[in-house]
Amino acid sequence: MMAMTEIVRIHHMKQPRRPHHIPDWAEARGMTQADLARELDADKSVVSRWYKGSTPSEDYQNRLAALFNCDRDALFRHPDDDWMAKFFADRSRDEIERMKRTLEAAFPRKRA
């Protein structure tokens, strides 16, 4: 008999759901679901589940990150957001402020 404090995990290998941008990363690399399945040696149904919102296992997250040439956490950001984060990383506050002013001047927000 189990103690009351012992937790039984029926699906102990199941990855908790976490929103990701795998379809966006694949599209940015010009890859289809079939390409991902082939490159990762994964079953097409596994890749299809990712496209429907299922979160890949840590092993597949590592493999996807290697395939997309990004870090694992980047899979949970849109590729454009990841690019911006890398572009602004390790910049001084002054550089960031100048870049923001330049972008705002080049692309002013349209007033409603």
Q: Domains along the chain? A: 22-106 (1.10.260.40)
- Our measurement of the distance from residue 95's CA atom to the centroid of its chain's CA atoms, rounded to an integer in Å, reads 27
Over residues 6-61, the pLDDT tens digits come to 544 455 556 667 789 999 999 999 999 999 999 999 999 999 999 999 999 999 99
- CA–CA separation, 2 and 74 (whole Å): 41
What is the pTM (predicted TM-score) of this model? Answer: 0.70
